[in-house]
Amino acid sequence: MDVAGLKKCLEQHRQSHLLQFWDELSSDEQKALFDDLSSIDLDRVCQYFGKATTGLNEAQTKTDDRLEPVPEKVCGSTSRMNSAEHKELFDSGLRLIAEGKVAALLLAGGQGTRLGVPYPKGMYDVQLPSSKTLYQLQAERLLKLQQLAFKLTNQRGIIPWYIMTSEHTKEKTIRFFQDHSYFGLEAENVVVFEQQMLPCFTFDGKIILSDKHKVARAPDGNGGLYAALGASDVISDMRRRGVACMHVYCVDNILVKMADPVFVGFCHQRSADCGAKVVEKAFPTEAVGVVCQVDGHYEVVEYSEIALSTAERRRDDGRLTFNAGNICNHYFTTDFVEAVVKEYDSALQHHVAKKKIAFVNEQGTISTPTSPNGIKMEKFVFDVFQFSKQFAVLEVLREDEFAPLKNGPSAAKDSPAACRSSLLNLHYRWVLAAGGKFVDSEGSVLPLIPARSSSMPHTVDIDCEVSPLASYSGEGLEELCSSHIFTAPVHLVPGDVAGVQTSSSI
């Protein structure tokens, strides 16, 4: 070990403190720390820190004259499509799936810190009647899509599932899939790869130690996807399989429609190289990024970067001018992603995330802060929108497609209970639309929309779950539901009508 050379390098980068406990370490610990520090490109990470924090200190508000809403010509809306248009796009996407041209790419490298669990979010069970985890729900949706594509075309296409993990989530994710036999998918079609980790810094630019012999690191954000792809053989695997496009999404959205045929068909029909699903902002100050144009380039602008006067602007029809809420649900062609990896990733700037980071104090003990004490540097997956030559935006209904799991059980928003409620309510609407009806334990018909008031006894969500293997997005449920009466809890699975009280009509 060239300890003298390491000391000199650390001194040059103002990081000598990283060896402050060297003499207290065992030989094994010294080697571990030496290897850890030697693996860091200090020139590169210190440059990242400098650029990211310089940008943080500059004015963050985007001026009105630089922002423009997404042009109508690139936009579509599922709620404003007629049934024929919807079917055309759905079938178009299924045909691409049948030809093996569509992949799903899951961003699952983040830690579930706010959720309060020591394992990957995808392993979380929000207490559905089926007890299925996020990973299982997503796997079964892919299986159902492959079945639908085969039924339409008689071609057996595969949707390869690429899962980007991190040092914190990779091994647990792999074991979970192995223990559950990949939830019916072929192991060779579930490709797990790992994103890079970056050192965490104090606010004054010092790299943090998480232990006397270990540097504190964190995943480089979901925008670390492009560096991870460049360091792996994932794109080569896509090329080998004939994948032409991919749906990229975050793990925590319980309603996500992976490889959504409508979205894929919509973007393909418009020859888009890059696309975004959005939901309409609920109110001007809602804490959600907005898909828009800045200086003529497509971007996601964070709500904190938009002046209130701009956020409150409205169109002639009363809708917000900047209303395209980002839900991290994207379409990319393989060609576009490969170009980003080879040509543009190095130009993407890191963003600053102020976090509570456990550290070793001067006494050599591990301390857990109660308020943010350091910086994690992240890139965002949507930072590449600016490089798109043909962009597309599809607005979807929030209640159909967006319910993120971000916070623990005690939280009022984005909690396990909120996610559970969103999914059960969606499935309840599917069953009603397919001709089913619900009664309570005494046989009284439940209202179509249970009210939450003192005068109505039905003040909680109706436990109605539809297996993804029975329906991907509400289609094909008529045989299971039409003219059937259900008593909750209900869990519909293929070929079964669990919870049916009688087949008579009301």
Q: What tens digit of pLDDT does each residue of 292-323 get?
A: 999 999 999 988 888 888 999 999 999 999 99
Q: What pLDDT shows up at residue 105?
A: 98
Tokens of 318: 């009363």
Spatial CA neighbour of 209 closest among 369, 28, 359, 10: 359
- What's the Cα-to-Cα distance from 84 to each of 80, 218, 260, 455, rounded to whole Å? 12, 47, 17, 41
User: Which residue shows structure tokens 């418009």?
Assistant: 270
pLDDT tens for each residue of 259-288: 999 999 999 999 999 999 999 999 999 989
- pLDDT of residue 415 exceeding 70, the answer is yes
Task: Give the pLDDT of residue 303.
Answer: 84
Q: How far apart are CA 299 and CA 387, in angstroms?
A: 10
Q: What is the pTM of this model?
A: 0.92
Compute the distance between CA of residue 395 and CA of residue 312 in angstroms, rounded to an integer.
20
User: What is the phi-psi region of residue 420: left when phi exceeds 0, alpha when psi lies from -120 to 50, beta otherwise?
Assistant: alpha
Asked whether the predicted pLDDT for residue 502 surpasses 70, the reply is: no
The pLDDT tens digits of the residues spanning 211-258 come to 999 999 999 999 999 999 999 999 999 999 999 999 999 999 999 999
Confidence bin at 442 (pLDDT 50/70/90):
confident
Q: Over the stretch 64-113, which tens digit does the pLDDT of each residue have?
A: 778 999 999 999 999 999 999 999 999 999 999 999 999 999 999 877 77
User: Higher-confidence residue: 451 or 193?
Assistant: 193
Q: How far is CA 112 from CA 164, 190, 417, in A?
A: 15, 22, 16
Q: CB of 358 within 8 A of CB of 210?
A: yes
pLDDT at 494 over 50: yes
Please name which of 402, 437, 426 lies closest in space to residue 326, comparing C-alpha atoms.
402
Taking the C-alpha atoms of residue 186 and residue 126, their distance in angstroms, rounded to an integer, is 26
Separation CA 52–CA 375 (nearest Å): 10
476 has a pLDDT exceeding 60: yes
Q: What's the average model confidence in pLDDT over 375-388? A: 95
Residues 6+ apart with CB under 8 A from 278: 291, 324, 325, 326, 327, 393, 394, 395, 396
Return the sign of the alpha-carbon dihedral for residues 251, 253, 254, 255.
negative
